[in-house]
Amino acid sequence: MNGPRFPVLSRLLHWLMALMILAMLFIGIGMVSSLGDYHWLLSIHRPLGIAILVLVAVRLANRQINPPPPLPADMPAPLRVAAHASHIVLYGLMFAVPLVGWAMLSAARAPIVLYGTLELPPILPQDVMVYAWLREAHTVLALALFAVFLLHLAAALLHALVFRDGVWGSMASPRGGRGTA
Amino acid sequence: MTLKKSAHGRYWPWPPGPGVLAGLGATGLVIAGVAGAFAYTGGLLSPGALTQTRIIDRFQAINGVHPGFRRNHAKGVCVTGTFASNGLGARLSRAAVFAPGSVPVIGRFAVGIGKPFLPDNGTEVRSLALSFRPAGGEEWRTGMNDIPVFPVKDAEGFYALMAASAADPGTGKPDPARMKDFLAAHPETARALALIRARPFSTGFANASYNGLDAFRFVDAAGRSTPVRWSMVALDPFVAQTPPPAGARDPNYLFDDLVARLDAGPLRYRFVVTVGQPGDPTGDATLPWPAGRQQVDAGTLTLDHVEAEGPGNCRDINYDPLVLPDGIAASDDPLLSARSAAYSVSFTRRAGEPKTPSEVQPPPARPAAADLPKTGGEP
């Protein structure tokens, strides 16, 4: 089978970010309910979040340069709409969750230490009420990201196991090149 | 009736064959597995586990909810000044704050209780929290108490001690039987309380010395790590508060005395680092280190300004003990991560609440003589 595939760079970025985001969601939910692991999880959470923010920007740029392959011609319109809409929401949340995290620490006037002496500047003035609001938004948006991730994973598995239409292979194939449409 | 293939083809596999059913089942299993692991990680499947949320909930159950105030050390006042490093600390830690020179400090004196309007003589522990702010970042925050050791060694002990020492709703006093049971189960607390009670409290904030209690690690420029504990040692001579003040005193006497003392001149403290030896306990804040350990005097803290809690000053700082610069790191003391986690919950809750003015309202600072209007006279 040699159906259309995502470019290699797009596949690499996708699977790298999939791992990072899944790890990040588990670190996030784990650290807010753990006393003993809170500190070391938080020390991973901040640099990993910023790395995701940088990578999602790289990925959006790559998507303009290397557009995804077309969806199968026989895919029904409602599924196409769902696919496009869920990707817009995914990208929106991949930007929003780390940005809100950075902004909330800024509003709390907490140092945003990535590693050693490497710190990020604040992006908002100090205002604890704004912090409280953004802190809540960070949780809500992260839970929304987890929900959309589950939908995305379910859809990918349905493409692979039920529809068998080549969409799974277009992202999961280990082969080089873009394949043939 | 003949089965007609759906117009949607492979996207509407009806009726589903065994392969489709297996695919749907596998998809469902994977999703349920990931969602279940997420719920487990978030503690949803272990409601009995102690979390930062439950610790702060217990503070609120015991002290009531006082919107906008810290859930512990609720009654306090802001101070500012500078820390002048003499450079001796730089041999142990590469943190910017220990390079020779001076950095601004935003601090907070408080009494160790979760009720912001309690009279000062209803409290025992006094605290000093500090935020050191070198020009290039690398902020350092520390919260210190005027007791020699911490009464518990971990969060579970802290949580149980809160319940054991809480006032009984019937009598208004702690139930001695519950405290006895607690101490029987926590001999380390019994030993720590004996040490805490052996030393009288000072008459005020100004002549108290404040201890970091938890051990930390200083890391020098070569990457060598040294276990340390630290203290702010008052230059004002210690005066013991014996007997404890009776109920008739001014309810804010500790803070009034502090303001009066600062009116007379700046407060000074020596920052003393105690250097641990191999084998000294770093993971248990109830245990003192042996006497005679090397002490390094790393500089002088000068506090010269006091003001009421308000927007943007010490009120809005979370004195999280794990806001550390490069060159200071956490030890294996389990209280550190637990404090950091619980402080975050307390800070987040109070940040989002409407603010009430603090009970402690120092009069506005009088301008120094040099700043007085040249024309003279009060308006």
Supply the pLDDT for residue B7: 52
> Per the structure block, which two tokens stand in for A30?
């784990």
Q: Which residue of chain A comes nearest to B353, CA vs CA?
A: A129
Summarize pLDDT for A147-168 with one digit per residue, the tens: 999 999 999 999 999 999 999 9
Supply the pLDDT for residue B3: 45
Nearest to A157 among B30, B55, B137 (CB): B30
pLDDT band at B374 (very low <50, low <70, confident <90, very high): very low
Is A34 within 8 Å of B341 when comparing Cβ atoms?
Answer: yes
Supply the pLDDT for residue B119: 87
Nearest to B23 among A74, A126, A161 (CB): A161
A133 to chain B, any CB pair closer than 8 A? The answer is yes
B41 to chain A, any CB pair closer than 8 A? The answer is yes
A119 to chain B, any CB pair closer than 8 A? The answer is yes
Tokens 């690398």 belong to: B138
Decide if pLDDT at B122 tops 80. no
For residues B20, B22, B26, B27, the Cα torsion angle rounded to the nearest 10 degrees is: 20
Q: How far apart are CA B370 and CA B366, in angstroms?
A: 11
B21 to chain A, any CB pair closer than 8 A? The answer is no
Nearest to B35 among A31, A129, A150 (CB): A150
Summarize pLDDT for B159-189 with one digit per residue, the tens: 999 999 998 888 888 999 999 999 999 999 9
A32 to chain B, any CB pair closer than 8 A? The answer is yes
Is A132 within 8 Å of B348 when comparing Cβ atoms?
Answer: yes
- Per the prediction, chain B carries an average pLDDT of 92
Q: Tell me the three state secondary structure of residue A37.
A: coil
Q: How far is Cα of residue B164 from the mean position of the Cα atoms in its chain?
A: 21
A39 to chain B, any CB pair closer than 8 A? The answer is yes
CATH superfamily of B74-334: Catalase core domain (2.40.180.10)
Greater pLDDT, B249 or B218: B218
A26 to chain B, any CB pair closer than 8 A? The answer is yes
Q: How far apart are CA B66 and CA A39, in angstroms?
A: 27
Query: How many CB pairs (< 8 A) connect A and B?
Result: 135
Dihedral of CA B236/B82/B144/A132: which sign?
positive
Q: Which residue of chain B comes nearest to A132, CA vs CA?
A: B352
Mean pLDDT along residues B266-274? 98
Give B99's contacts in chain A (Cβ within 8 Å).
Answer: none
The whole-angstrom distance between B124's CA and the closest CA on chain A is: 27
In whole angstroms, how far apart are CA A179 and each of A13, A15, A159, A165? 18, 19, 18, 14
Is A76 within 8 Å of B51 when comparing Cβ atoms?
Answer: no
The whole-angstrom distance between A19's CA and the closest CA on chain B is: 13
CB B319 within 8 A of CB B106: no
Is A76 within 8 Å of B8 when comparing Cβ atoms?
Answer: yes
Is B342 within 8 Å of A37 when comparing Cβ atoms?
Answer: no
CB B77 within 8 A of CB B108: yes
- Domain spans in chain A, listed from the N-terminal domain onward: 8-69+76-167
Kindly report the number of other CB atoms within 10 A of residue B155's CB atom. Answer: 22
Give B35's contacts in chain A (Cβ within 8 Å).
Answer: 150
Decide if pLDDT at B369 tops 50. no
Determine which of B337, B345, B349, B350 to mutate to test the interface with A (most A C-beta atoms within 10 Å). B337
Mean pLDDT along residues B284-299? 97
> Which of the residues of B are catalytic?
73
Q: Which residue of chain A comes nearest to B30, CA vs CA?
A: A154
Decide if pLDDT at B2 tops 70. no
Number of H helices, E strands in chain B: 7, 10
Provide the strand spans (E) within chain A.
Answer: 112-115, 118-120
Give A164's contacts in chain B (Cβ within 8 Å).
Answer: 10
Query: What residues have CB less than 8 Å from B333, skipping those under 6 apart?
Result: B214, B215, B282, B283, B284, B285
CB B149 within 8 A of CB B137: no
Decide if pLDDT at B315 tops 60. yes
The whole-angstrom distance between B346's CA and the closest CA on chain A is: 11
Supply the pLDDT for residue A173: 92
B9 to chain A, any CB pair closer than 8 A? The answer is yes
> HSE of B198 in the Cβ direction (CA atoms, 13 Å)?
8
Summarize pLDDT for B80-96 with one digit per residue, the tens: 999 999 999 999 999 99
Dihedral of CA B189/B190/B195/B200: which sign?
positive
Question: Into which CATH architecture does domain A8-69+76-167 fall?
Answer: Up-down Bundle (1.20)
DSSP assignment of A134-163 equals: HHHHHHHHHHHHHHHHHHHHHHHHHIIIII
Is A131 within 8 Å of B348 when comparing Cβ atoms?
Answer: yes
The whole-angstrom distance between A65's CA and the closest CA on chain B is: 30
Q: How far apart are CA A128 and CA A106, in angstroms?
A: 10
Mean pLDDT along residues A53-59? 98
> Per the structure block, which two tokens stand in for A43?
């020390």
Nearest to A38 among B12, B20, B341 (CB): B341
CB A6 within 8 A of CB A69: yes
Greater pLDDT, B201 or B64: B64
A147 to chain B, any CB pair closer than 8 A? The answer is no
Supply the pLDDT for residue B197: 93
Amino acid residing at B56: I
Greater pLDDT, B14 or A135: A135
B340 to chain A, any CB pair closer than 8 A? The answer is yes
- Per the prediction, chain A carries an average pLDDT of 96
Query: What residues have CB less than 8 Å from B274, skipping those under 6 apart?
Result: B228, B229, B230, B231, B289, B293, B294, B295
Q: Which residue of chain A comes nearest to B223, CA vs CA?
A: A116
Nearest to B31 among A32, A133, A154 (CB): A154
Summarize pLDDT for A16-38 with one digit per residue, the tens: 999 999 999 999 999 999 999 99
Supply the pLDDT for residue B246: 62
- Domain spans in chain B, listed from the N-terminal domain onward: 74-334
CB B128 within 8 A of CB B107: yes
Determine which of A128, A133, A134, A139 to mutate to test the interface with B (most B C-beta atoms within 10 Å). A128
Q: For chain B, what percent of residues have pLDDT higher than 70?
A: 92
Tokens 């809500």 belong to: A140
Supply the pLDDT for residue B312: 96
pLDDT band at B364 (very low <50, low <70, confident <90, very high): confident
CB B262 within 8 A of CB B363: no
Supply the pLDDT for residue B328: 98
> HSE of B247 in the Cβ direction (CA atoms, 13 Å)?
1
ipTM reported for the complex, 2 dp: 0.96
Q: How far apart are CA B312 and CA B301, in angstroms?
A: 22
Decide if pLDDT at A181 tops 90. no
Q: How far apart are CA B299 and CA B236, in angstroms?
A: 16
A87 to chain B, any CB pair closer than 8 A? The answer is no
Which residue from B92, B208, B108 is spatially nearest to B148, judged by alpha carbons?
B208
Give B311's contacts in chain A (Cβ within 8 Å).
Answer: 128
Give A150's contacts in chain B (Cβ within 8 Å).
Answer: 31, 34-35
